[in-house]
């Protein structure tokens, strides 16, 4: 029985396509942000909450947590330990100082990240007085897994009564961190309270992040809250510039409704937080690697076809 050489290229192309698709799915890089609503030692002692939270964070290469009330770091240590037991990846955390104007409501920003896929180059706590209730916390990351190798994530949890002023001042933070690290690939993320009565369409004219080269990836119509009586786009992801925007997977910015995904009741979801996480995916540096097997197969196909034609 003789080989039909015309069918060989199609077979090889199909195998290459399937292999590259599987590779690309495996290598996606996800950044998440989640307001944990007073995450403290008591919450960390709730095994059901911690199990759910571990499942949520295990999906992400980098997670920004807000409303962390853990000055001694015990609750976050428990969470990172749970992640390291749950996942094959290794995780570390990076925390801001406790921030706020009330001793009963001091909060930290905490980044939890996979050391296998990303590393921390530097961190910076914005400190300009009377600008924010909880000053933004910026971290300079580097990853060989993403198309954009170095990028800056800036965390902010706005004060509800100062949303417009604080969001506008993020432009000043942008100016400062880009000069500090010579990197304009900046992403702002967190609970901005950027919806409902806290920020109207008219307010956008007062916020420089709407007037300049920033892309708001979570739209105004999205509901990031859990309670049925709210439908507000409080939690946001904002990216600067075309370069960083091109490094983001299209339409990947969304709310992660883990109640629906994990089949958990609303009451159980509310035990974790009254917010849902938001997330976005960065394009993988593996895209070029994905093309390599295809080129090899095509070259092999040419050789085999040439050999078969001589038979």
Q: Where are the domains of the chain?
A: 1-27+288-311, 29-283
For the segment 80-114, what is each residue's pLDDT rounded down to a tens digit? 999 999 888 999 999 999 999 988 999 999 999 99
* Bridge partners for 146 per DSSP: 284
Backbone angles phi, psi at 91, to 5 degrees: -120, 150
Cα 169–Cα 172–Cα 174 angle in degrees, nearest 5: 110
In terms of residues, how long is the chain? 311
pLDDT one-digit tens code per residue, 19-71: 444 444 446 899 999 999 999 999 999 999 999 999 999 999 999 999 999 99
State the DSSP code for 146. B
Q: What is the pLDDT of residues 147-196, one digit of tens each?
A: 999 999 999 999 999 999 999 999 999 999 999 999 999 999 999 999 99
Q: CB of 83 within 8 A of CB of 112? A: yes
What does R_g of the chain's alpha carbons equal in angstroms? 23
Predicted pLDDT at 17: 46
Tokens 């309270």 found at: 193
Q: How many CB atoms lie within 10 A of CB 310?
A: 5
Q: Tokens at residue 200, please?
A: 């109207």
Pairing mode of beta strands 278-282, 29-39 = antiparallel
Write down the pLDDT at residue 129: 77
- If DSSP codes are grouped into helix, strand and coil, which group holds residue 206? helix
* pLDDT at 235 > cutoff 90: yes
Q: Which two tokens stand for residue 63?
A: 């997670």
pLDDT, greater one: 270 or 310: 270
Coil, helix or strand at residue 46 = coil
Residue 88 or 274, more confident: 274
Helices (H), 27-147: 41-44, 47-57, 74-86
Is the domain spanning 29-283 CATH 3.60.10.10? The answer is yes
Residue 134 scores a pLDDT above 50: yes
Of 307 and 69, the structure prediction assigns the larger pLDDT to: 69
Instruction: Please answer whether residues 192 and 156 qualify as being in contact, where contact means their C-beta atoms are separated by less than 8 angstroms.
Output: yes
Give CA–CA dist 117/109, Å, rounded: 21
The torsion angles phi and psi of 285, rounded to 5 degrees, stand at -70, -10
pLDDT score recorded for residue 308: 46
Question: What's the pLDDT at 47?
Answer: 96
What is the dihedral sign for C-alpha 217, 172, 154, 240? positive
Predicted local confidence at residue 7, as pLDDT: 52
Judged against a pLDDT cut of 90, whether residue 293 lies above it is answered with no
pTM: 0.85
Q: Could you give the CA distance from residue 44 to residue 133 in angstroms, rounded to a whole number?
A: 25
Residues 6 or more apart whose CB falls under 8 angstroms from that of 181 comprise 121, 122, 140, 150, 152
- Tally of CA atoms within 13 A in the half-sphere of 310 that contains its CB: 5
Residue 202: other Cβ atoms inside 10 A: 8
């Amino acid at each position: 029985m003789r080989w039909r050489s015309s069918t060989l290229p199609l077979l090889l192309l199909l195998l290459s396509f399937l292999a590259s698709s599987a590779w690309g799915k495996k290598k996606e890089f996800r950044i998440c942000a989640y307001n944990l609503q007073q995450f403290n030692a008591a919450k960390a002692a709730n095994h059901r909450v911690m199990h759910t939270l571990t499942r949520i964070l295990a999906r992400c290469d980098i997670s920004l947590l807000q409303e962390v009330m853990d000055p001694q770091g015990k609750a976050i240590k428990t969470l990172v330990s749970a992640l390291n037991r749950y996942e094959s990846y290794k995780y570390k955390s990076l925390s801001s100082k406790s921030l706020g104007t009330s001793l009963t409501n001091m909060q930290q920003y905490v980044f939890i990240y996979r050391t296998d896929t990303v590393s921390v180059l530097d961190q910076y706590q914005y400190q300009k007085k009377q600008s924010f209730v909880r000053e933004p916390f910026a971290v300079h990351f580097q990853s060989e897994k993403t198309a954009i190798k170095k990028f800056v994530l800036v965390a902010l949890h706005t004060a509800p009564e100062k949303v417009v002023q604080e969001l506008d001042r993020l432009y000043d933070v942008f100016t400062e961190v880009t000069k500090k690290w010579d990197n304009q690939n900046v992403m702002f993320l967190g609970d901005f309270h950027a919806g409902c009565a806290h920020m109207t369409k008219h307010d956008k004219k007062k916020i420089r992040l709407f007037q300049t080269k920033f892309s708001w990836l979570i739209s105004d119509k999205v509901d990031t809250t859990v309670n049925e009586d709210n439908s507000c786009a409080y939690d946001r992801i904002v990216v600067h510039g075309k370069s960083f925007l091109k490094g983001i997977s299209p339409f990947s910015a969304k709310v992660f409704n883990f109640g629906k995904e994990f089949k958990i009741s609303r009451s159980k979801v509310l035990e974790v937080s009254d917010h849902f996480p938001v997330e976005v995916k960065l394009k993988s540096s593996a895209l070029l690697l994905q093309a390599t097997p295809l080129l090899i197969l095509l070259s092999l196909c040419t050789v085999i076809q040439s050999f078969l034609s001589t038979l």
